[in-house]
């Protein structure tokens, strides 16, 4: 078996992974970084981010205000010490990207433009028209090319962390082109594998967002934190789930029911012209309530509402949100200059993820770090504010890259080489067996049933019975997964094997979400229970932690860090 060694191993080449790789190289002149990614980096989901990235930029804004907005948005479940670190660094990171060549949109006087985003009390979201993720990722990718010490393994799928005596020293991954499994060894491993929105049927997430890194860390002994909090975005296209960016509301778009009324004005948050600028959890709930009251519009994919941009005019639409026009024309045949766009709530983001500290280190497994959407460092709590995720990737990608280098250079041992290679060989044998596996169950069928169980049990509104049924269904599906059959035993670009492995990861992630949701008997942020409609700080101002065990997940809790801001009723 080929053994490849680097000082730092990164799994993932999206925003968080590339930022970590650059930080590692800047932190030490001779460190070598191996970057394993199942996609070519520029195809990572970060590329599809549209609306922008938040960072304090103007005189009417302050670090204090960005912190307060983030904490309130999180329904007070975010760790306050971490949010302080995040807000202080976010605007510096965006300026750093500017210096690396990111083409931020600008005002006529030359200043970087900022726009409104939901739950942000002032304009604070930097953007590059509405292709922000593309430009940020491109900037990071080009910057990473300066370092020949970053060695890329594009289109390698990581299937197992190599952990011995509680210390992580590598990863087993196979080359998609050849099917060959290789053993990657390093003194520290950073997971930057993104989210897992694909546990749900309607999502803005790319097909590759299957929670792989969450499952890898979970099976290696790290807890998954706050998994029950899944963000629905209120403006996805029915059918495909393609995102129509929140920037469309930030720039002044209106949401309307079938009577043409701006229904959000009637709900208890966001008043007057700012009605559409409420946070995502609240607007998604309002849409569902409109549907239930019979005020939605009906289409082939169920109920929807209208996103009306007509009053903005063609010039503003083309200047500020051209991609929205392009998407609406191409995917629903509607030109938003003349007609409103049909939209509905779609799964967008996972607030939860791999438990880490403020430097990305995972408690319990030494030498393992995580950053970006795969991680839960805890700035998003129960509901993320739009445009906080891209800067999160930058801030905590950088911190974990630096922390991993510091750890690796403080005499972290190479680890028991033979034992680690042995683990990779065992993984090779497992994948070989999988390629020839005979069984009665089909991957697509299990995935479909998983999607529908999650939508029915853990959607925008939740209840004890439907969540309990969801937990049961996921458990049964896990049992059936053991009996899947694989029809394609070839090695070269075997997409069936990839799908089988991804489905295994989806099942782990879905189970953690459902178990966490069932046990949280309160409503907070994106977790809304009809049977427990109130927030209950006395019992649940705590992070949930789901741990892997052979006979089913274990759940416990940890207190939220409160520093200066006492939890208050969340009103807009």
Ligand X SMILES: Cc1cc2nc3c(=O)[nH]c(=O)nc-3n(C[C@H](O)[C@H](O)[C@H](O)COP(=O)(O)OP(=O)(O)OC[C@H]3O[C@@H](n4cnc5c(N)ncnc54)[C@H](O)[C@@H]3O)c2cc1C
- Residue 274: CB minimum distance to ligand X, A: 19
118 vs 296, which CB is nearer to ligand X? 118
203-226 as b/e, with b when 16 or more CB fall inside 10 Å? bbbbebbbbbbbbbbbebbbbbbb
Q: Does residue 241 interact with ligand X by CB under 6 A? A: no
The answer to whether the beta carbons of residues 384 and 351 sit under 8 Å apart is yes
Q: Put residue 271 in one of left, alpha, beta given phi > 0 → left and psi -120 to 50 → alpha.
A: beta
Read out DSSP for 260-306?
Answer: S--GGGGSSSS-GGGGGGS-HHHHHHHHHHHHHTT-SEEETTEEEEE
- Please identify, among the stretches 175-183, 186-194, 280-288, 318-326, the one whose residues bind ligand X according to the rule CB under 6 A: 186-194
Site for ligand X in 335-394 (CB under 6 A): 349, 372-374, 387-390, 393
Question: What binding mask, one character per residue, do residues 257-276 give for ligand X by CB under 6 A, x or -?
Answer: --------------------
- Residue 71: CB minimum distance to ligand X, A: 17
- Residue 410: CB minimum distance to ligand X, A: 26
Q: How many residues bind to ligand X according to rule CB under 6 A?
A: 43
Q: Does residue 49 interact with ligand X by CB under 6 A? A: yes
End-to-end CA distance of the chain: 58
- Residue 14: CB minimum distance to ligand X, A: 2
- Please identify, among the stretches 63-71, 191-199, 283-291, 362-370, the one whose residues bind ligand X according to the rule CB under 6 A: 191-199
Question: What binding mask, one character per residue, do residues 153-182 give for ligand X by CB under 6 A, x or -?
Answer: ----xx------------------------
Q: Does residue 504 interact with ligand X by CB under 6 A? A: no
Q: Give the max Cα distance, the chain.
A: 69
Separation in Å, CA 166 to CA 161, 163, 222, 365, 430 = 11, 6, 10, 5, 22
* C-alpha torsion sign, points 403, 404, 406, 407: positive
- Please identify, among the stretches 45-53, 138-146, 300-308, 514-522, the one whose residues bind ligand X according to the rule CB under 6 A: 45-53
Element (H, E) at 235: strand 230-236
51 vs 459, which CB is nearer to ligand X? 51
Least Cα distance to 389 among 49, 64, 103 occurs for: 49
- Binding ligand X (rule: CB under 6 A), the pick from 36, 83, 283, 510 is 36
Q: Does residue 73 interact with ligand X by CB under 6 A? A: no
What's the rounded Cα separation, in Å, for the pair 265 and 312? 19
- Binding ligand X (rule: CB under 6 A), the pick from 205, 235, 423, 544 is 205
Least Cα distance to 388 among 22, 89, 12 occurs for: 89
Mind telling me the catalytic residues? 233, 249
Binding site for ligand X (CB under 6 A): 11-17, 36-39, 41, 44-46, 48-53, 132-133, 157-158, 192-195, 204-205, 212-213, 243, 349, 372-374, 387-390, 393
């Amino acid at each position: 078996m080929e053994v490849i060694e680097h000082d730092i191993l990164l799994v993932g080449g999206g925003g968080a992974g590339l930022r970590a790789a650059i930080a590692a190289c800047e932190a030490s002149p001779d460190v070598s970084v191996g970057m394993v990614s199942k996609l070519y980096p520029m195809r990572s989901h970060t590329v599809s981010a549209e609306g922008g990235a938040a960072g304090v930029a103007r005189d009417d804004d302050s670090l204090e205000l960005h912190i307060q907005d983030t904490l309130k948005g999180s329904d007070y479940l975010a760790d306050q010490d971490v949010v302080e670190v995040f807000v202080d660094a976010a605007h510096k990171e965006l300026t750093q990207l500017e210096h690396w060549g990111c083409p931020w949109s600008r005002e006529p006087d030359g200043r970087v433009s900022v726009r409104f985003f939901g739950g942000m009390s002032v304009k604070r979201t930097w953007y590059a028209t509405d292709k922000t993720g593309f430009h940020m990722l491109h900037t990071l990718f080009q910057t990473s090319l300066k370092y020949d010490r970053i060695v890329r393994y594009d289109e390698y799928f990581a299937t197992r962390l190599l952990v011995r005596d509680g210390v992580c020293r590598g990863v087993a991954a196979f080359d998609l082109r050849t099917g060959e499994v290789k053993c990657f060894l390093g003194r520290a491993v950073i997971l930057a594998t993104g989210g897992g929105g694909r546990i749900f049927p309607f999502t803005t997430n790319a097909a590759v967002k299957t929670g792989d890194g969450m499952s890898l860390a979970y099976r290696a002994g790290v807890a998954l934190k706050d998994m029950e909090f899944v963000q629905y975005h209120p403006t996805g296209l029915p059918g495909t789930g393609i995102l129509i960016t929140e920037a469309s509301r930030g720039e002044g778009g209106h949401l309307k029911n079938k009577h043409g009324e701006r229904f959000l004005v009637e709900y208890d948050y966001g008043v007057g012209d700012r009605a559409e600028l409420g946070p995502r959890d609240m607007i998604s709930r309002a849409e569902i309530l409109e549907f239930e009251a019979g005020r939605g519009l009906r289409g082939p994919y169920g109920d929807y509402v209208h996103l009306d941009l007509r009053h903005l005019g063609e010039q503003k639409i083309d200047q500020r949100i051209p991609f929205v026009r392009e998407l609406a024309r191409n995917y629903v045949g509607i030109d938003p200059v003349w007609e409103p766009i049909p939209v509905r709530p779609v799964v967008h983001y996972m607030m939860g993820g791999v438990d880490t500290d403020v430097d990305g280190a995972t408690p319990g497994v030494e030498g393992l770090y995580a950053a970006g959407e795969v991680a839960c460092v805890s700035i998003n709590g129960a509901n993320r504010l739009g445009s906080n995720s891209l800067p999160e990737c930058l801030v905590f990608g950088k911190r974990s890259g630096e922390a991993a280098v510091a750890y690796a250079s403080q005499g972290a041992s190479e680890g028991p080489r033979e034992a680690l290679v042995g683990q990779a060989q065992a993984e090779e044998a497992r994948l070989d067996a999988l390629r020839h596996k005979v069984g009665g169950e089909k991957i697509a069928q299990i995935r479909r049933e998983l999607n529908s169980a999650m939508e029915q049990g853990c959607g925008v509104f939740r209840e004890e019975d439907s969540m309990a049924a969801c937990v049961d269904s996921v458990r049964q599906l896990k049992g059936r997964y053991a009996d899947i059959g694989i029809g394609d035993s070839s090695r070269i670009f075997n997409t069936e094997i990839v799908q089988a492995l991804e489905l295994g990861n989806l099942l782990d992630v879905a189970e953690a979400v459902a178990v966490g949701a069932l046990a949280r008997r309160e409503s907070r942020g994106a977790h809304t229970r009809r049977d427990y409609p109130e927030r209950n700080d006395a019992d649940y101002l705590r992070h949930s932690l789901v741990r892997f065990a052979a006979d089913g997940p274990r759940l416990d809790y940890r207190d939220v860090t409160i520093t200066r801001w006492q939890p208050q009723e969340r009103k807009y």
